[in-house]
Amino acid sequence: MTLPWLDPDQIAFPPADAAMEDPNGLLAAGGALNADWLQAAYRRGIFPWYEQGQPILWWSPDPRLVLFPEQLHVSRSLRKLIRKSPYVLTMDKDFPAVMAACAEPRRDSDGTWITPEMEQAYTQLHHRGLAHSVEAWQEDELVGGLYGVALGRVFFGESMFSRRDNASKLAFVALVEQLKAWGFELIDCQVDSEHLRSLGAEEISRQQFLSLLDTQTALATKPGPWQFEQR
């Protein structure tokens, strides 16, 4: 199979179900990375993922890891930690700082897939009220968080980081509870993760995922900036 190369001057993706089986979900290369391209991609169940020096690569894996908010699983030990409230949690307080922290190299990797170009594109989406961050603070220090994109009643999770124990996990649980209260139906977790499975995430087929997107992204999007309610 020849990988389609996208024209940067025209937003047009192949159907998501045309993605490769190996590597799983690779759909196309090229195009451009900005808020318009990202909005169009997410509505079609597609997301960008590539490393510095590579062309822009677009993906739609099958199966897809998702979390239905009502299926959130919080262990007894995590509930105890939530009650202790070790961190102050906020939303959309410092989106650029969260992205920059997520872009830092991890212990098991020297590189990052969150390039400066990607930071700029998602920050554009944030300014449109469509990309959001959750921050965990300890004595005014940013110690954890996550970011993602909201369209209709779907939240597309992108990345998270922790500088203190369980900081990103507490941020994620708080986000899911808030999304549930707002009537969100689906959280996209993209690819399999033991960490997210422990919180209730499950795999569904690409076909089922795309069907859910058709109905849920057609609904009104809750604009940003977001704030936690009744925390």
The mean per-residue pLDDT over the stretch 112-139 comes to 95
Burial class (CB in 10 A: 0-12, 13-18, 19+), 141: exposed
The mean per-residue pLDDT over the stretch 135-159 comes to 97
> What confidence tens digit (pLDDT) does each residue in 84-94 have?
999 999 999 99
Can you give the pLDDT at residue 7? 98
45 sits in the region (left: phi over 0; alpha: psi -120 to 50; else beta) called left
How many folded domains does the chain comprise?
Answer: 2
Judge whether 225 lies within some domain: no
> What confidence tens digit (pLDDT) does each residue in 20-35 have?
999 999 999 999 999 9
* Residue span of the structural domain in which 88 resides: 65-216
Contacts of 20 (CB under 8 A, 6+ apart): 1, 3, 26, 27
144 and 123 inside one domain: yes
112 and 134 inside one domain: yes
142 and 209 inside one domain: yes
Contacts of 22 (CB under 8 A, 6+ apart): none
